[in-house]
Amino acid sequence: MKNIAILGSTGSIGTQTLDIVDGSNGELNVVALSAGRNIELLEEQTRKYRPYLICVETKEDAEELGIRLNDTDVRIVYGMEGLTDVASFPKSDMLVTAIVGMVGLKPTIAAIKSKKTICLANKETLVTAGHIIMPLAKEYGVDILPVDSEHSAVFQCLQGENREDVEKIILTASGGPFRGKTLEELKNVTLAQALKHPNWSMGKKITIDSATMVNKGLEVIEAKWLFGMDSDKIEVVVHPQSIIHSMVEFKDGGIKAQLGIPDMRLPIQYAITYPDRLPIKNSERLSFKECSRLDFEEPDMEVFKGLKLAFKALENGGNSSVMYNAANEYLVSMFLREKISFLDIPKYIEFAMNEGTFTENPNVDEILETEAEVKRILESEICR
């Protein structure tokens, strides 16, 4: 039996992780959970999975939950300290970081230092601090197992292969709802249009990131750290059907791909049960009768400048990826509140990357300082 803790248990990845727990015939046991503001669902999850420890964002919610759950003996914590307690909870073997945003960074570091296996769904952790996380995981002998479907596909394709035989990683991208559109056509895109992803049902932030292709940019940066590949060895191919989840090219010219009907439960489960595979309840199987055609095209990096800027951030090095990610986090939240336009997202990411203070090898405090600086820069620029 594996004891797992989940950061972000009420989100899309979090709830699907709990589906996997449900289907595990008791092989997986939930010992700690964290959520943001959705205390109704966290209460429900606590009654069902009986964790020892739960965490919410605010003190008020923690107190409210304390009243609601006073018939149980669950311990309730809150804030960053609470998140860190969940991440490093002594009874857990494995942490699923399904939380969104840079808030996942410190708890993940705490989990690694407590020797928890990390199932990583929080891409900001590696995007902003891959240069800290990967050596730390190595030092503590901790596996970082990708949950993202693309990185899971790459990870699956690497099984049984020598890392030195890898020539290139090919990340597939659906292209999002605006694939094939011109810059002119993207000018007046609405929030509702941007929230309609063609293939995957995901949280709002990642759905917007998918529409701007910043999501793919973040994945490129994440892949660099996860698989130790230089950015010129990482390629993005637009594949609208999202059937091939990603590929690896080897030095003999052979390519391996992982494919299937889009279903996040597969990569989540693969990370949790790795190296074993288990059946997934009601999983839809790929039928080549129905799926009779797969298409591929090059991404248009002029229209989807958010992707191009990720490669630029990797080229710049230092804290450039932090600026890229922090700017995007802030700008997506502004777009979700309909304060800025769709094309403002890449425009102001670039602005922030140009205006932010460059730091060569940022530590955690400097990463967080970069994040704060980027927000200040953007706030004053946008609200002028």
* Residue from the set 60, 135, 138, 159 that interacts with a second copy by CB under 8 A: 159
**Least distance CB 148 / a second copy (angstroms):** 14
State whether residue 331 is helix, strand or coil: helix
Check residue 163 for interaction with a second copy (CB under 8 A).
Answer: no
Q: For strands 117-120 and 166-173, give the pairing.
A: unpaired
Build a one-symbol-per-residue string for 285-314: x at contacts with a second copy by CB under 8 A, - elsewhere. xx-xx-xxxxxxxx----------------
Closer by beta carbon to a second copy, 276 or else 338: 276
Check residue 269 for interaction with a second copy (CB under 8 A).
Answer: yes
* Residue from the set 57, 209, 222, 249 that interacts with a second copy by CB under 8 A: 249
Could you please report the per-residue DSSP string of 190-216?
-HHHHT--SS----HHHHHHHHHTHHH
Closer by beta carbon to a second copy, 36 or else 240: 240
**Least distance CB 138 / a second copy (angstroms):** 21
Closer by beta carbon to a second copy, 104 or else 267: 267
Q: Give the list of residues 6+ apart from residue 190 with CB closer than 8 angstroms, or none.
A: none
Rounded Cα distance, 349 and 264, in Å: 28
Nearest to 151 by CA among 238, 211, 218: 218
State whether residue 139 is helix, strand or coil: helix
Counting Cα atoms < 13 Å in the Cβ hemisphere of 3 gives 15
Closer by beta carbon to a second copy, 78 or else 270: 270
Rounded Cα distance, 206 and 203, in Å: 6
Closer by beta carbon to a second copy, 261 or else 343: 261
Binding site for a second copy (CB under 8 A): 156-162, 165, 170, 237, 244, 247, 249-261, 263, 266, 269-270, 275-280, 283-286, 288-289, 291-298
